[in-house]
Amino acid sequence: MEIKKEKKGKNLFKKVGALSLACVFAVGVALTIAFSIPRGEEVSTENVITFGLPMNNAVVVKDYADDKLQFNESLNRWEIHLSVDLTSEDNLVLAACDGVVTSVDENSLEGYVVEIEHADGFVSVYSSLSENVKVAEGDVVSKGQQIGEASDSAANESATGGHLHFTLFKDGLEVDPNLYLDLQNK
């Protein structure tokens, strides 16, 4: 009988020992893989894009809303609003960030429109400007540089009165300007 106990002990040791050895091997492989994968470079804060307000002492007339309908008095309908409408006492419209003017256009629905391309895939669009636009396509602009004046030239929001209709895109998609502009107290 003693021989069987000894055999059982050896069999148990073989099974547990093999299992332990397999676990140690698996942990070793996992650690080797984890330490051999190149780590991402640290994000530099030197070239992070920062936006300024597109108007001095801006007041929000109509905020961005992609998840609730807002009533558009000019068109007499409910709609989402993927921009921020701003006004100020001086009505001056400023470039929100350094960039290149990619388009200056005019149409009856949006009025006079300036589009500026910025770094990191951002594009800002300034609509409902007066005809006195201060920039042309291809101009390089600096943050805070005047690009025009707010007006009521946009027929699709004429009931709002003189204002800037400010839209921001990131990699071709409209984004909430509140995420990039300091509009909390406006």
Whether the Cβ atoms of residue 186 and residue 61 lie closer than 8 Å to each other: no
Q: Which contacts of 37-41 are long-range, i.e. CB under 8 A and separated by 24 or more positions? A: none
Domain range annotation of the chain: 1-40, 59-179
**Topology of the domain covering 59-179:** Glucose Permease (Domain IIA) (2.70.70)
pLDDT at 75: 83
Question: For residue 29, what is the enclosing H or E element?
Answer: helix 2-36
pLDDT at 26: 54
Angle at 146 between CA 179 and CA 65, to 5 degrees: 30
pLDDT at 128: 95
Cα 90 from Cα 113, distance rounded (Å): 19
Whether the Cβ atoms of residue 124 and residue 96 lie closer than 8 Å to each other: yes
pLDDT at 80: 85
pLDDT at 2: 55
pLDDT at 154: 86
Cα 159 from Cα 92, distance rounded (Å): 20
pLDDT at 45: 42
- Tens place of pLDDT for every residue, the chain, 186 residues? 555 555 555 555 555 555 555 555 554 545 455 455 555 444 444 456 889 999 999 999 988 988 898 888 878 889 888 999 999 999 999 999 999 999 999 998 999 999 999 999 999 999 999 999 999 999 999 999 999 999 998 877 877 888 999 999 999 999 999 999 887 654
Q: Which contacts of 34-40 are long-range, i.e. CB under 8 A and separated by 24 or more positions? A: none
Question: Exposure string (b/e) for 107-124, b if CB count within 10 Å is 16 or more?
Answer: eeebbbbbbbebeeebbb
